[in-house]
Structure 1
């Protein structure tokens, strides 16, 4: 835990409001960390009353992207206003504060689509944002080694060409969608999809979550929650047109009725190992594969019934004595904390410090007087 005390003289304002100061202090904290890095750091803030664009400060993410050099870092401030699409044109690291933060009145940095379609942006990292779609589907440019972590996402699309968007890591994210596919691997190679949570809220039986996974795709250590009801044969579709995929150490939860089988779809040779299934309102057939645990409550430390998987009151650590305890292929617990992965239900990027407490003792002041702030923050997990 790090503690900060900031005294700031105000010479051009008679009133200072806590939200704006919280935003500024977040930038200060991240600057302290980023100054140790070699890359240029740019800040984007489209809040009402935010400073106009100048120097390294921007109101548009795309303007910051266009001004950056390969390897630079962009930090996007939480805002009630969306930031639109991002067209990736080079290798960049783009960070938000987290997709479900405890401060800033829960505000997040929201972007629409992140498009890898105009240049080689291999090695880019996206973290801590609220995102609709990430598209790695351009057939002209290489976009390998992309890291997508600690975001709230609706959809990620791979590439139809086997040589254009490979070695992608998708981890620590919260996927939430009503009806569409969550991840479409297409023909991309060597994707690792691990330590994420996935929620499908629509009850219809054939709205698959995972599409066109191949034999180079690893789907491990995830928690999947489906609200789908079974068809006339008590089947639902989770995977579709997937072939040869390794599926291990996951927890599959089902809230729908009349569900006995979730492997409906044109799949082949899926390798289910050391997974757990549990139906809240139905009994599932034994899962094909080896060392799977059927119809067993995973016994999370805390799970709020009928809540979203990103409910901050949920705790997906496994209780002692749970059937998921030490049940993984590696002898560790099943689910998102497998292998001591630093899963954050709030989506805090592991590279950044994050605020845990922010108190302004005199939030309305006269010009020339001191602003007294007490800030507490956790150091970034990587350090």
Structure 2
């Protein structure tokens, strides 16, 4: 246990010490619910309640969930990763009641917005969710005006339906993996869905619930799956404009677009039923990216979704750009290690030392 405690202290001190070069005016609050932890806070809500606007909460990796949080302050929550084995920082439900909230490198359950009991009135502006894995999310309540504005979701693995109400505006979903799920939107005029991969097993559903608001535009995305028969992207209600997207079934059927009776769509520049030529995927491993079962980003570490030199997706996007996760040089982190922060690992150490003796440790570090 001493070794584990020492590792956590070294990792936290070094990585956050480097991080602090740009945020000297902010306070970092650490939560750690591991055995023998000496931190003051062991739940995310307790750390939030002790924070002031502008603070950063660092969530140590742990096998135990840190609970639910109602965010009513302008804070940043940073974890170690959402899927790296043994280094996952996990929360439960996240409820946002403030502007300027950033969450990165964390696995959590669901996301919602609420003004119940909050000291700050909506609109809540400037939500940033980076390198997270999470399930269902609701952006804004069903009724009302100007509730949520300027939402950015990038570099995430999303496992549940994203519902976007007309009380939300200026939303960007880019460079994400939607794993066996889709989007249900009541607003399209200020919604951008581009450079994602929608990974389905039998289908993926995209719904435009308010056609009067405009056309739902999907561009530079990939739609993939693995089935012994045809797979469909279900386009409900509509209208939709599909531009420079790619579809591919790693099994034995096709992957096609399908609209319901009230849906309509136009399609240009598509690479339909075209192998994207990922650097390394295996369609025989069930939970891998190209597998037949529920996607688990940690299940096959070899999965590499960058594109081979001969991939048609490298120049198949709008204006000759790349389709998918790495468009415009985006650094997608499959395991959810936050971009822009250093990560450190202890790779060797003395097994035992005498009292008041010195311990020799070898540390590796890399920038993300």
TM-score scaled by structure 2?
0.85
SS in 1 for 2:18: helix
Corresponding position: 1:43 with 2:30: yes
Residue 291 (structure 2) aligns with:
none
How many residue pairs are counted as aligned between the two chains? Answer: 335
Corresponding position: 1:219 with 2:215: no
The CA deviation at 1:309 is: 5.8
Measured in 1, the distance between the counterparts of 2:177 and 2:88 equals 19
Measured in 1, the distance between the counterparts of 2:191 and 2:60 equals 33
- Among 243, 253, 276, which residue is 2:224 paired with? 253
Q: Which has the higher strand share?
A: 2
**Aligned-pair Cα RMSD in Å:** 2.0
Measured in 2, the distance between the counterparts of 1:363 and 1:42 equals 30
Q: Which runs of 5+ in 2 are unaligned?
A: 259-265, 289-294
- Among 183, 186, 193, which residue is 1:210 paired with? 183
The CA deviation at 1:214 is: 2.4
Measured in 2, the distance between the counterparts of 1:24 and 1:330 equals 48
The CA deviation at 1:284 is: 3.5
- Among 348, 354, 357, which residue is 2:343 paired with? 354
SS in 2 for 1:94: strand
The CA deviation at 1:146 is: 0.2
Displaced runs of 4 or more, over 3 A = 137-140, 284-288
The CA deviation at 1:137 is: 4.5
TM-score scaled by structure 1?
0.82
Residue 166 (structure 1) aligns with:
149
Distance 1:286 1:74, change over 3 A: closer
Measured in 2, the distance between the counterparts of 1:263 and 1:310 equals 24
Distance 1:324 1:35, change over 3 A: closer
Residue 25 (structure 1) aligns with:
10
Q: Which runs of 5+ in 1 are unaligned?
A: 1-15, 201-207, 229-235
- Among 316, 331, 334, which residue is 1:327 paired with? 316
- Given that 2:256 and 2:272 are in contact with CA atoms closer than 8 Å, whether structure 1 keeps it comes out as yes
Counterparts in 2 of 1:74-89, with a 5 A limit?
74-89=57-72
SS in 2 for 1:22: helix
Counterparts in 2 of 1:1-383, with a 5 A limit?
17-36=2-21, 37=23, 38-53=25-40, 58-101=41-84, 105-117=85-97, 121-138=98-115, 141-160=122-141, 161-176=144-159, 181-187=160-166, 188-200=168-180, 209-212=182-185, 214-215=187-188, 216-228=190-202, 236-242=203-209, 243=211, 244-259=215-230, 261-266=232-237, 268-279=238-249, 280-285=251-256, 288-305=266-283, 306=286, 307=288, 308=295, 310-311=297-298, 312-355=301-344, 357-379=345-367, 381=368
Residue 262 (structure 2) aligns with:
none
Measured in 2, the distance between the counterparts of 1:159 and 1:257 equals 39
- Given that 2:88 and 2:106 are in contact with CA atoms closer than 8 Å, whether structure 1 keeps it comes out as yes
- Given that 2:30 and 2:39 are in contact with CA atoms closer than 8 Å, whether structure 1 keeps it comes out as no
Measured in 1, the distance between the counterparts of 2:207 and 2:56 equals 37
